[in-house]
Amino acid sequence: MATVAGGHVAEKRDHLQRCGWVNADPLYIAYHDEEWGVPVFDDQKLFELLILEGAQAGLSWYTILRKREHYRRAFDGFDVERVAAYGTEKVADLLSADSGIVRNRLKVAAAIRNAKAFLQVQDEFGSFADYLWQYVDGKPLVNHWASLAEVPASTALSERISKDLKRRGFNFVGPTIIYSYLQATGLVMDHVTSCFRYEQLRQ
């Protein structure tokens, strides 16, 4: 689940009740209102969110969200084939020249490795979406949490997917990262019941 350093709650300027992890930044509010928990079936966006979730490890999602446009430029719009083909020169550029991303060698290397593994999944299943959504029989799992305290950091499902992704060569795909990924891509709908998006997405 996305977290915010300091635990600030979004201001209810528009009188809409939101999940408590949202802060007052319009960028973060838009992400919560328009993206988080919405089912994603597009492979390019699934790849983008996979890379961003991996980059989040040890950081807050808010930090990564603010860097999202920099990531899009640095990683060629998250074109998976281009990222898979990155060589040492491109890696050096990412680590030395682009301050808009998390300049962590392991995370950059993982993005490239994950792109290659992503392509292999596409070859085997036809699309990464088909591979991922099979775990929930093509339909989002809708939870009914009354408070953020009830929302788990990982589940048996995220552990199962994490294990299989690691077997396929993916990195930075531990159960907690994958559960956050499932929330972000809408395989799991974890808006709390008091959030205005809960009623909209629970169908």
31 annotated active-site: yes
Token digits for 67? 């860097």
Q: How far apart are CA 19 and CA 23, in angstroms?
A: 10
Give the whole-angstrom CA distance, residue 157 versus residue 97: 38
Catalytic residue among 21, 28, 31, 131: 31
Sequence-separated (6 or more) residues with CB below 8 Å from residue 107: 54, 55, 57, 172
125 by Cβ neighbours in 10 Å (0-12 / 13-18 / 19+) ranks as: middle
Catalytic: 61?
yes
Catalytic residue among 21, 61, 86, 145: 61
Catalytic residue among 53, 86, 131, 145: 53
- To the query of whether residue 53 is one of the catalytic residues in this protein, the response is yes
Q: 99: which 2 tokens?
A: 């301050």
Task: List, by residue number, the catalytic residues.
Answer: 31, 53, 61
